[in-house]
Amino acid sequence: MDRETLPLADRHFRGLGGGVPGVGQAPGRVAFISEPGAFSYADFVRGFLLPNLPCVFSSAFTQGWGSRRRWVTPAGRPDFDYLLRTYGDVVVPVANCGVQEYNSNPKEHMPLRDYITYWKEYIEGGYSSPRGCLYLKDWHLCRDFPVEDVFTLPVYFSSDWLNEFWDALDVDDYRFVYAGPAGSWSPFHADIFRSFSWSVNVCGRKKWLLFPPGQEEALRDRHGNLPYDVTSPALCDTHLHPRSQLAGPPLEITQEAGEMVFVPSGWHHQVHNLDDTISINHNWVNGFNLANMWRFLQQELCAVQEEVSEWRDSMPDWHHHCQVIMRSCSGINFEEFYHFLKVIAEKRLLVLREAAAEDGAGLGFEQAAFDAGRITEVLASLVAHPNFQRVDTSAFSLRPKELLQQLREAVDAAVAP
């Protein structure tokens, strides 16, 4: 982040107190970014991060990626031979696109070589199989093979707190490989924690259907459930979906090989593979969507509390159990969210205290100042939340109020003339 972008971003979030900025008007079409040399990080902030709008980057942005050289045949198809030689014995998660389990697909695990055998047979069978349409999803390849030359992280997505946090703990990540035949797809959803995401087609093409935040509410059925498939004729049944006619049409993207899609925070979407496709996908959170994540976590806790409200008076430590259930369902609770903020904050505090100079794609002073400001606002809201005040923080290495005070002092010093 440069010196000109910092005040612009600060003004955008000023006074929200950890709240969520209003959603801007959805565009009639998705912007296409052609030339890497003509599009800066500041351009991305102004045009897409601040207004929370999607865009597509051309294949020129991923031209040098190792995966695009090695995983793809000269004809532009998945190089099954290379994948078998390199990763054949790796066990991967595979979803069955033909089976609905709640609003997702059931998964099994199998060696990659078995999945590729299935995939070849599926193609030979005219894209049909008694086993259904299977889709390799959420493979943590970068975690399992950290030194592989798979991709180069674009500077636009380099402020990635989610993976910074999990890398610091050395237990997990939110970097995935997806691979599947033409016809495989992902049901209607919004990304985990209301994160941003980016997705690159190493080969193949995808069709994206995107709905801006809030528009998904008109798609709920009469029981309040979101649709599994927004292309289903059932959505036209006003008895089942009484408000569906109020929803505008989705933004559509046809993503070609090598192209990179940026999915903003809170945008529900559905994705179909038009060809045999391999993609690399990341979920990421930073100062631009931290408030969205915090609002989502509050909504998740409210949903849990409502679900188990009948035991509120009879269950000892009911509030604690709600946090346990929330973590089981959502992958994080208020206590872990604090630790997430703490890990990210400590590095920013170090940069601000040392008054580090901007160093290109690294964490420079302006970026650290912006990050610290956003963490301060959300942490203040977390600390004041009645349900977080019930969390036992006595064993924390740094108490929340102490961290909040350190952040406030650092932010004040950073903006001082």
> Domain coordinates of the chain in residue numbers?
25-284, 290-415
CB 176 within 8 A of CB 92: no
Provide the pLDDT for residue 356. Answer: 46
Q: How far is the C-alpha of 173 from the C-alpha of 278, rounded, in Å? A: 19
CB 207 within 8 A of CB 253: yes
For residue range 84-141, list pLDDT tens digits in order.
999 999 999 999 999 999 889 999 999 999 999 999 999 999 999 999 999 999 999 9
- Residue among 45, 53, 54 at smallest CA distance from 5: 45
For residue range 301-342, list pLDDT tens digits in order.
999 999 999 999 999 899 999 999 999 999 999 999 999 999
Provide the pLDDT for residue 195. Answer: 97
Provide the pLDDT for residue 363. Answer: 67
Provide the pLDDT for residue 51. Answer: 93
First to last CA, the chain: 19
Beta strands in 212-341 (DSSP E): 251-255, 260-263, 268-273, 277-284
Tokens 């690159």 locate to 200
pLDDT per residue as tens, the chain (417 positions):
888 888 889 888 876 655 555 555 578 899 999 999 999 999 999 999 999 999 999 999 999 999 999 999 999 999 999 999 999 999 999 999 999 998 899 999 999 999 999 999 999 999 999 999 999 999 999 998 987 899 999 999 999 999 999 989 887 899 999 999 999 999 999 999 999 999 999 999 999 999 999 999 999 999 999 999 999 999 999 999 999 999 989 999 999 999 999 999 999 999 999 999 999 999 999 999 999 999 999 999 999 999 999 999 999 899 999 999 999 999 999 999 999 999 999 999 999 998 744 444 456 899 999 999 999 999 999 999 999 999 999 999 999 999 999 999 999 998 877
CB 343 within 8 A of CB 171: no
**What CATH topology corresponds to 25-284?**
Jelly Rolls (2.60.120)
Provide the pLDDT for residue 18. Answer: 56
Partners of residue 270 on adjacent β-strands: 209
CB 281 within 8 A of CB 199: yes
Helices 400-415 and 365-384, packing angle to 10 deg: 140
- Residue among 102, 401, 351, 391 at smallest CA distance from 226: 102
Provide the pLDDT for residue 311. Answer: 93
Provide the pLDDT for residue 10. Answer: 87
Provide the pLDDT for residue 416. Answer: 78
Provide the pLDDT for residue 202. Answer: 99
Burial code (b: 16+ CB inside 10 Å, e: under 16) for 281-297 equals bbbbbbbbbbbbbbbbb
Bridging pattern class, strands 185-189 and 175-180: unpaired
Provide the pLDDT for residue 358. Answer: 47
- Residue among 186, 184, 182 at smallest CA distance from 197: 186
